[in-house]
């Protein structure tokens, strides 16, 4: 029988393949580029290209593509075939180092926020050798960054790589303070837990809202929702189990370490988590995972919904970004050490993260802002839009002791460090895993939980890496050339200064919002239009450009693109609602009312003295509702017109937030009410009950 280790990574041009297919000299040189970012010369690239092509052809590929992550959508690719005509009228399969290193897709169809003048609509893609090439279908996919000819980043990978480099640079400076001269490189790792819904393809195809927008825009709650929690603890249904098995196999072939899978809180909701990897690889893998999840679902007659909020009133889907920093020598800098000395280093890095999250709360919020995720944040199912950190009782106790100069109760009485007893060797605390915190310390990593399920994890990690790089830079600037006492003093001072961001209570509690905003002065940007323009705040531009993660122009273009995307998304939803209300819901409710009226007529013909009170009541209710649906649909159409007339992207997003979304909510309310009194066989599309309990 074929075992997992037989096929794991079989579609990846990974280290094993490179070693086997490249000369020792070429391999060494490529390895230097991958591990240390050394420059790659063309002769090496040529040799790699030939080996890659031969391997790809052996494995059934006929085409190659530069695979990249534009600012909207999942990934993009433009396939070119390997074939080149040969003089004898036949074809050769060719692929050069130049084609490997650089591509020129037509960039004009990807959003650039005005970065590319139309006369220079061409951008270029550049190979990212740190992420392995892979075969998908019949195509060799080469992970690349996507830039304009002027060098501005048009994708999500370029700034991510820059942010990793910024953090590497500053972390190395800080590690030098601890005498860690042997460390060559510091990298962040990420393990993203991915939530999703599975519904049947048959039902999906009957709903325009799912087809056009990925979520339901109408739907009354079924008699049973998620209140029983029986799905979470229940066994995985055979059809879902078959899907998961197939999905794992496809992911494993691509070298993606899919590891855990289970049901989630909502019916029909599931989760997949991989083993963590270096951030840019984890990002590529998560993008691929989302794509493969959808593809495999099709094969099983299912549809995988990655939208953040496919069903109102039912938990939405998020993505947990588990994040840590580690050295090439194998030290996890987010892991408390065994000795007081290591603990000082851990505490300094921890302090850097705390400071980063406090100083750049807005950037973390912005990184997860999309129209879809606006439905989740602060809606009693996901962490609130307010960013705060959960540390857990034990670590919190240690930090409080440092700040207040009091002895830490749990510590043994040994050497005094930081003015308090030694930080004890503490065990990973699994008892009080706080699920309501947006940014939780979980023993040896932080879990950023505000990401939406369809978000690329790039943006969150760009902001996180950059903000932490900034803290580390400030620390290194101050501490270089100073003694250990200065480190202790800085830790104490900074922890004191950033106490407000630490919150170990219930993030879903309404009192937290008041405390956070009124007492602590934390930010609460509820929606995408509320937060997105703040990307251009002076402090943010200064920090991000200072670490060369973005240029000012890139920042501006991103605000435009993200808001444009927000507007387009909600406008499509609004238009779909009008369409469904007018063409499907109204006629259905009318038809049902007509049937009731017909029944009343028949009854009357039999016995003219019948009161027909049920029919009268039903018809009266249905008539009121059809009038309301018609009116609310017209209101919504008017608002759509108004939004389209605004013309300026920020103002337009405000109009959507303040007028369009409320008009959509109003239309939905009357339609959902109509659903509850219309006979089931008249309802024009599958209901929540059908969708949520339809996969068996």
Minimum Å distance from CB 103 to Mg ion?
37
Q: Report the residue closest to Mg ion, judged by CB.
A: 320
- Closest residue by Cα to residue 262 from 253, 254, 271: 271
Minimum Å distance from CB 277 to ligand ADP?
8
Minimum Å distance from CB 326 to ligand ADP?
7
Candidate ranges 188-196, 631-639, 670-678, 688-696; the one touching ligand ADP (CB under 6 A):
188-196
Minimum Å distance from CB 426 to ligand ADP?
16
444 binds ligand ADP (CB under 6 A): yes
Residue 316: which of Mg ion, ligand ADP, none does it interact with, CB under 5 to 8 A by kind? none
Q: Return the structure tokens found at 201.
A: 């393809």
DSSP 596-611: HHHHHHHHHHH-TT--
Distance CA 618, CA 616 (A): 6
Please, are residues 696 and 605 in contact by the beta-carbon 8 Å criterion? Answer: no
Residue 191: which of Mg ion, ligand ADP, none does it interact with, CB under 5 to 8 A by kind? ligand ADP
Residue 28: which of Mg ion, ligand ADP, none does it interact with, CB under 5 to 8 A by kind? none
Candidate ranges 125-133, 186-194, 246-254, 541-549; the one touching ligand ADP (CB under 6 A):
186-194
Q: Report the residue closest to ligand ADP, judged by CB.
A: 191
Minimum Å distance from CB 446 to Mg ion?
11
Minimum Å distance from CB 325 to ligand ADP?
9
**Which of 461/678 has CB closer to ligand ADP?**
461
- Closest residue by Cα to residue 252 from 59, 9, 2, 12: 9
428 binds ligand ADP (CB under 6 A): no
Minimum Å distance from CB 275 to ligand ADP?
5
Q: Using the rule CB under 6 A, which residue among 62, 81, 332, 575 binds ligand ADP?
A: 332
Q: Using the rule CB under 6 A, which residue among 276, 311, 390, 525 binds ligand ADP?
A: 276
Task: Quickly count: other Cβ atoms within 10 Å of residue 224's Cβ.
Answer: 13
**Which of 430/676 has CB closer to Mg ion?**
430
Please, are residues 247 and 292 in contact by the beta-carbon 8 Å criterion? Answer: yes
Kindly list the distances between the CA atom of residue 277 and the CA atoms of 189, 247, 285, 286, 488, in Å, as whole numbers in the listed order: 5, 19, 9, 11, 32
Instruction: Name, in order, each residue with C-beta under 8 angstroms of 108's C-beta and a sequence gap of 6 or more.
Output: 116, 118, 121, 122
b/e string for 333-348 if b means 16 or more Cβ within 10 A? Answer: bbbbbeebebbbbbbb
Minimum Å distance from CB 644 to Mg ion?
41
Minimum Å distance from CB 26 to ligand ADP?
32
**Which of 337/689 has CB closer to ligand ADP?**
337
322 binds ligand ADP (CB under 6 A): yes
Candidate ranges 82-90, 247-255, 268-276, 619-627; the one touching ligand ADP (CB under 6 A):
268-276
Residue 394: which of Mg ion, ligand ADP, none does it interact with, CB under 5 to 8 A by kind? none
As to burial, measured by CB atoms within 10 angstroms (0-12 exposed, 13-18 middle, 19+ buried), residue 87 is exposed
**Which of 193/421 has CB closer to Mg ion?**
193
Distance CA 76, CA 377 (A): 28
Distance CA 641, CA 302 (A): 36
List interacting residues with Mg ion (CB under 5 A): 193, 320
Minimum Å distance from CB 190 to ligand ADP?
6
Q: Using the rule CB under 6 A, which residue among 231, 376, 445, 632 binds ligand ADP?
A: 445
The helix (run of H) or strand (run of E) holding residue 673 is helix 661-677
The CA R_g of the chain, rounded to the nearest whole Å, is 28
Measured over the CA atoms of residue 461, residue 462, residue 466 and residue 469, the dihedral's sign is: positive
315 binds ligand ADP (CB under 6 A): no
Q: Using the rule CB under 6 A, which residue among 324, 434, 465, 687 binds ligand ADP?
A: 324
Kindly list the distances between the CA atom of residue 692 and the CA atoms of 199, 216, 242, 646, 687, in Å, as whole numbers in the listed order: 7, 12, 18, 38, 9
**Which of 63/445 has CB closer to ligand ADP?**
445
533 binds ligand ADP (CB under 6 A): no
209 binds ligand ADP (CB under 6 A): no
Strands 79-81 and 91-93: unpaired
The helix (run of H) or strand (run of E) holding residue 192 is strand 186-200
Q: Which residues bind ligand ADP (CB under 6 A)?
A: 189-191, 193, 260, 273-276, 322-324, 332, 444-445
């Amino acid at each position: 029988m074929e075992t997992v280790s037989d096929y794991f990574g079989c579609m990846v041009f990974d280290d094993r393949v490179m070693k086997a297919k490249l000369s020792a000299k070429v391999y060494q040189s490529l390895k230097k580029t991958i591990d240390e970012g050394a420059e790659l010369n063309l002769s090496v690239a040529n040799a790699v290209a030939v080996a890659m092509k031969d391997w790809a052809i052996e494995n059934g590929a006929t085409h190659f593509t530069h695979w990249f992550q534009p600012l909207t959508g999942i990934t993009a690719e433009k396939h070119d075939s390997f074939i080149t005509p040969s003089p004898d009228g036949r074809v050769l399969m060719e692929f050069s180092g130049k084609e490997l290193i650089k591509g020129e897709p037509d960039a004009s169809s990807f959003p650039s926020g005005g970065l590319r003048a139309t006369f220079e609509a061409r951008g270029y893609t550049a190979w990212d050798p740190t992420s392995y090439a892979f075969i998908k279908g019949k195509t060799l996919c080469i992970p690349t960054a996507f830039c304009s000819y002027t060098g501005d980043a048009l994708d999500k990978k370029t700034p991510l790589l820059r942010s990793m480099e910024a953090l590497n640079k500053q972390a190395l400076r800080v590690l030098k303070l601890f005498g860690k001269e042997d460390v060559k490189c510091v990298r962040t790792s990420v393990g993203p837990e991915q939530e999703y819904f599975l519904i049947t393809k048959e039902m999906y195809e009957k709903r325009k809202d799912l087809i056009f927008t990925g979520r339901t825009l109408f739907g009354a709650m079924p008699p049973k929702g998620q209140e029983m929690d029986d799905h979470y603890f229940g066994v995985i249904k055979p059809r879902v189990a078959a899907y998961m098995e197939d999905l794992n196999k496809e992911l494993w072939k691509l070298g993606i370490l899919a590891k855990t899978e289970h049901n989630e809180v909502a019916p029909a909701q599931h989760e997949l988590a991989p083993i963590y990897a270096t951030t840019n690889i984890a990002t590529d893998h998560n993008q691929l995972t989302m794509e493969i999840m959808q593809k495999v679902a099709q094969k099983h007659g299912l549809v995988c919904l990655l939208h953040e909020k496919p069903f109102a009133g039912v938990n939405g889907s998020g993505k947990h970004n588990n994040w840590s920093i580690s050295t090439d020598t194998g030290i996890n800098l987010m892991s408390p050490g065994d000795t007081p000395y290591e603990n000082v280093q851990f505490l300094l890095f921890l302090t850097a993260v705390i400071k980063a999250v406090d100083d750049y709360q807005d950037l973390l919020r912005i990184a997860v802002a999309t129209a879809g995720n606006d439905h989740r944040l602060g809606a009693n199912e996901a962490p609130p839009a307010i960013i705060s950190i959960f540390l857990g009782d034990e670590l919190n106790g240690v930090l409080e002791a440092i700040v207040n100069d009091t002895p830490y109760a749990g510590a043994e009485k040994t050497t005094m460090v930081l003015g308090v007893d030694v930080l004890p060797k503490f065990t990973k605390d699994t008892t009080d895993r706080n699920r309501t915190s947006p940014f939780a310390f979980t023993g040896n990593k932080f879990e950023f939980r505000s990401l939406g399920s369809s978000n690329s994890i790039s943006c969150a990690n760009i902001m996180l890496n950059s903000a932490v790089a900034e803290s580390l830079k400030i620390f290194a600037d101050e501490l270089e050339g100073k003694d250990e006492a200065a480190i202790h003093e800085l830790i104490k001072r900074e922890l004191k200064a950033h106490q407000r961001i630490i919150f170990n209570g219930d993030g879903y509690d309404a009192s937290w919002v008041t405390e956070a905003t009124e007492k602590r002065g934390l930010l609460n940007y509820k929606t995408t239009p509320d937060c997105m323009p703040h990307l251009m705040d002076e402090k943010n531009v200064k920090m991000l450009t200072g670490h060369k993660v973005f240029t000012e122009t890139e920042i501006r273009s991103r605000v435009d693109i993200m808001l444009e995307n927000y507007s387009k998304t909600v406008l499509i939803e609004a238009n779909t609602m009008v369409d469904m209300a007018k063409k499907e819901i109204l006629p259905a409710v009318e038809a049902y009312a007509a049937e009731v009226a017909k029944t009343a007529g028949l009854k009357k013909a039999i016995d003219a003295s019948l009161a027909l009170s049920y029919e009268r009541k039903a018809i009266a209710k249905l008539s009121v509702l059809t009038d309301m649906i018609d009116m609310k649909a017209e209101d919504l159409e008017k608002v759509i017109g108004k939004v389209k007339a605004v013309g300026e992207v920020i103002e337009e997003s405000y109009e959507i937030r303040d007028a369009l979304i409320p008009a959509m909510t109003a239309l939905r309310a009357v339609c959902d009410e109509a659903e509850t009194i219309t006979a089931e066989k008249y309802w024009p599309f599958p209901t929540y009950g059908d969708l949520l309990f339809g996969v068996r």
